[in-house]
Structure 1
């Protein structure tokens, strides 16, 4: 093969998995290139809340928060539900702490612990913690990016994800500044937060270490010789280029959100929207097939953290019709099925997302789908529904509205007696804040993240003020898939015979969730990307040292 250029490590994808591999490799003395298919760097993780979730860590300890490996292990055991591969589970459990310290102390990322944010299932699950297991990047000055400022992703949705921190959301619950004011402050200061801040910080660190970064550069084929991955064929505006990878290739291309056939096959979703960039098309599967790797589902589709959301008519993001992720739990709102009945704790998205997928043959299939958000004018005026901020009207066609519940049921096709009975029952629950059906508002996480701290029962307020509104729900993917490439403890891709493929690694959501199995907690996807990108580069550079 005649190579157009040569590097030690080629990272395919520029999310947290690819950039973590690039930073670790470059810090170890390797020559590294990052090839990103999309027109901007940062990947799906740049559009996320930017949280990393792990057990005991040095940032929490420095903040005076106590935790134990035994407690974290108990919590992990509950989340895994027996689906995780024990050896890989132990890697996540034991080495995430080390990876985080590497990126703070060696690479220099300025991270902070998120104060006051509990694990999803605290305090119901043994080992869950009230705080200390989430970390995030500190606000990052975008001018440090220099000429790359427009080449690194930030949220195109106009919300607070890229310009507010998790700490600020929590602070608002305790009487701190309104999150909209925080957003304005960060915009005025030219600061990026959350996933956008983390991507920007990693890009700057990569530039400082001599990593070559190329957007609009699609890897179309792996070069495989004698059973070993030796490099890639990259396609850009100038044509195809053969790039050698002396130590290996890291596939960090994310999930397969924009491949409807893969979403249908692996995630059991006939239809779904996505907030991921349209470049997330499962390229790792097609690329790795040339080296003998096959996709592997790590859990049942119902256990995959696929979100709920809604369409926004007239809004186009990345040239695609827009869908928005939605976190349920705002007062003056509930979720119902076609019978007009609530069917889950509709303040807690993991419970709601699981139950909308319930299949019951006796009830004709999906018993709780389709489903609608039902809310009144108080909800819109006080809390809004993005892209409408509090007090703003919803975009035309986004909601079905009516002056009475009876008229709303007629317009939507929701069962009228069921809807009226459900709203009456929910309103009764709001009087003393006790949801006798599903325990809404009982758990701390939804109270903090979606509740109104000014109310005696943050997630509970009646649906009473006309007009009334219904927004049909959609399933919305955010790059966290059911299937990925099987990997070993160092992120090396495994073939169907259980043997590692020489020169091929995977990180982030391109790697099957064999270390986690069936459970989820916010921040796991980002931590997995950082961990396996880091470990893949360490393995490659360690191998180089042994050969030399």
Structure 2
């Protein structure tokens, strides 16, 4: 076959997984190219909080945090709920520890512990930890990127997402530290990128130092397969197709399938959903891998996927369409109710609400908690507000129904009037004691920290009594972490429908099925999995070339 160019490793996608594979391969001496479909680098990583959850590492130990591998395994086993592959689950922590050491010591990523941030389900779940398992990048000076600065994405959803760290947020919340506004202004003034954008920038910086070829606006349309081996890709360039040979292998790291409505409906059981990803997240890995006989694998039920709740913002256009925004429930003066006007979960802990809105009740012949609404009063608008609005500004245009009384609000939205009034009265009573006997609001430390107002006596509580009153219909919002992906083995090698590895084809990040974790979710897992399997896939390719091939991964965990 005639090739237009040749590399050792071809990486499709520039999020943390793709760049992790590229950096590892290049550090080990391979010639590497990264092909990104979007017009900027960073993938969904650059839009995220940038947290990694590898469990115990040398970084947490050096910070003086004691942890137990057995505890961490117990936690992941509980979250997996039987969906994980035992061998992949067990290797997660050992190889993640090795991976984090590699990227700090050999690649040069400056990672640090997010202090005081507990696991999602601490202390309820055995093995959960009060802190120490989350890592994030230190603020990255974007001037180091030179002419590549504008080629690395920052979030279009506002400075908050790209110019503040999780550590700073926690300090502002519970330690009376520097305000988030001051943090953001400081980082913007220095042009220091944080969170996912900072991580993406740091990876690109190291990639440039290692001589990795980086290309944006390049769509990969097809795998080249010769005698059952993936040997390259076809990339669409202006006016022509370009054949690029991969002497060692191809890594698919194109993200999820948020912009493929049929995939979202089929795999995630969502007939309608907003999303907060770039329009290039279209499930290309699924389409390309089908040529190699690979079928996408759902690795958990859709209700266990990290599909968030949020709301539409008709007045805000992002990526050429009406924007959706994430809602993290739990702020004072707000509750979440169903059409009967009833609260139905711990509305200060988003995983509880996100799961319960999907509950199907055959007896009631439908989903009793969907549709659902955020209900709040003017105190919430004055103190917090909904993004992209800021405290004291009007609620963004077109987002909410606004009335003078709760009864009028119920009538205008179709919520049961008596139910809503009774629920708000009961909620206001809880606010006097800071105790929620119905759903234990404020008692999950992670949710309490993320949305509590620590200037208040009871940070998660606030009466809904000051008119006008507002109701915002919730929608399901995907953020790049899907239910289904390409099945991989312990080396990141893709597995076909017959259960055999496809020579030369690897997947990582949100393109790879969650066979190691399975059912549950905790912030930072998606990012860490991306880095881990990109790293392992690259090492597998390199060892194979050197004649020191590692054993084939075990697709069935046997």
Partner of 1:286, secondary structure, is helix
Moved more, 11-20 or 144-153: 144-153
Aligned partner of 2:412 in structure 1 is 411
Deviation at 1:237? Answer: 2.2
Contact 2:434 2:458 in 1 (8 A): yes
The answer as to 2:116 corresponding to 1:124 is no
Matches within 5 A, 1:502-521: 502-521=503-522
Partner of 1:106, secondary structure, is helix
Aligned partner of 1:103 in structure 2 is 103
The answer as to 2:227 corresponding to 1:226 is yes
Q: Deviations over 1:328-351 (max 9, x none)?
A: 110000000000000010000000
Quick one: distance in 2 between partners of 1:102 and 1:420?
A: 57
Aligned partner of 1:25 in structure 2 is 25
The answer as to 2:139 corresponding to 1:139 is yes
Q: Deviations over 1:64-109 (max 9, x none)?
A: 1110111111111111111100011112122111101110111000
The answer as to 2:486 corresponding to 1:464 is no
Deviation at 1:524? Answer: 0.2
Aligned partner of 2:428 in structure 1 is 427
Deviation at 1:420? Answer: 0.3
Moved more, 195-204 or 445-454: 445-454
Gaps of 5+ in 2: 550-558
Quick one: distance in 2 between partners of 1:155 and 1:363?
A: 41
Runs (4 or more) in structure 1 with deviation over 4 Å come to: none
Quick one: distance in 2 between partners of 1:526 and 1:83?
A: 20
Q: Deviations over 1:17-39 (max 9, x none)?
A: 10000000000000000000111
Partner of 1:125, secondary structure, is coil
Deviation at 1:547? Answer: 7.2
Aligned partner of 1:311 in structure 2 is 312
Aligned partner of 1:64 in structure 2 is 64
Quick one: distance in 1 between partners of 2:478 and 2:159?
A: 18
How many residue pairs match? The answer is 548
Partner of 1:175, secondary structure, is coil
Q: TM-score when scaled to structure 1?
A: 0.99
Q: TM-score when scaled to structure 2?
A: 0.97
Quick one: distance in 2 between partners of 1:453 and 1:276?
A: 31
Contact 1:273 1:475 in 2 (8 A): yes
Contact 1:84 1:516 in 2 (8 A): yes
Q: Deviations over 1:367-419 (max 9, x none)?
A: 10000000001001101210001111122211100010011011101000000
Aligned partner of 2:190 in structure 1 is 189
Aligned partner of 2:284 in structure 1 is 283
Contact 2:375 2:469 in 1 (8 A): yes
Quick one: distance in 2 between partners of 1:321 and 1:450?
A: 26
- C-alpha RMSD of matched pairs (Å): 0.9
Contact 1:51 1:195 in 2 (8 A): yes
Contact 1:44 1:277 in 2 (8 A): yes
Quick one: distance in 1 between partners of 2:532 and 2:271?
A: 32
Deviation at 1:49? Answer: 0.3
Aligned partner of 1:112 in structure 2 is 112
Partner of 1:362, secondary structure, is coil
Matches within 5 A, 1:90-489: 90-173=90-173, 174-489=175-490
Contact 1:233 1:241 in 2 (8 A): yes
Quick one: distance in 1 between partners of 2:115 and 2:365?
A: 45
Contact 2:332 2:462 in 1 (8 A): yes
Gaps of 5+ in 1: none
Contact 1:116 1:170 in 2 (8 A): yes
Deviation at 1:236? Answer: 2.1
Quick one: distance in 2 between partners of 1:510 and 1:356?
A: 26
Quick one: distance in 1 between partners of 2:412 and 2:363?
A: 27
Contact 2:17 2:531 in 1 (8 A): yes
Quick one: distance in 2 between partners of 1:91 and 1:320?
A: 41
Aligned partner of 1:37 in structure 2 is 37
Q: Deviations over 1:111-132 (max 9, x none)?
A: 1100000000111111111100
Deviation at 1:276? Answer: 0.5
Quick one: distance in 2 between partners of 1:48 and 1:140?
A: 15
Quick one: distance in 2 between partners of 1:247 and 1:238?
A: 28
Contact 2:54 2:96 in 1 (8 A): yes
Partner of 2:546, secondary structure, is helix
The answer as to 2:543 corresponding to 1:542 is yes
Structure 1 pair 131–89 and aligned structure 2 pair: CA distance change class (3 A): same
Quick one: distance in 2 between partners of 1:464 and 1:532?
A: 51
Quick one: distance in 2 between partners of 1:93 and 1:29?
A: 26
Deviation at 1:159? Answer: 4.2
Quick one: distance in 2 between partners of 1:79 and 1:107?
A: 31
